[in-house]
């Protein structure tokens, strides 16, 4: 499952970052490291870009790039939804 399959407010853990080497390096340098907790904050009306929260900051990335971030261990709790603080 990739990160764009999450619903706003859902949390998961990064399992793997795939794709071409240049993209994988960029995502890893932004903090998308295996085992990191990530929360999907919001999606644009047509799904591109998506805003994720990881390591205490928000990151807006293209949908095509987000498809390369594989996640596992999905959690949805009211507290998790509030922690992501979805604005909009």
- Structure-token match 């919001």, residue found: 42
Q: How far apart are CA 26 and CA 6, in angstroms?
A: 22
Contact of 43 with 23, CB cutoff 8 Å: no
Domains located in the chain, CATH noted: 3-84 (2.30.30.90)
Query: What tokens appear for 81 in the block?
Result: 């939804």
Higher pLDDT, 84 or 39: 39
Query: What confidence tens digit (pLDDT) does each residue in 6-60 have?
Result: 888 889 999 999 888 998 899 888 888 888 999 999 888 887 899 999 988 899 9
Q: How far apart are CA 29 and CA 3, in angstroms?
A: 17
Q: How far apart are CA 33 and CA 29, in angstroms?
A: 8
Higher pLDDT, 72 or 46: 72
- Answer whether residue 86 shows pLDDT above 70: no
């Amino acid at each position: 499952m990739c990160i764009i399959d999450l619903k706003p407010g859902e949390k998961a853990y990064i399992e793997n970052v795939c794709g071409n080497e240049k993209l994988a390096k960029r995502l890893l340098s932004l903090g998308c490291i295996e085992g990191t907790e990530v929360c999907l904050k919001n999606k644009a009306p047509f799904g591109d870009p998506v805003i994720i929260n990881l390591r205490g900051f928000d990151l807006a990335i293209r949908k095509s790039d987000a498809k390369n971030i594989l996640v596992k261990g999905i959690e949805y709790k009211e507290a998790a939804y509030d922690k992501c603080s979805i604005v909009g």
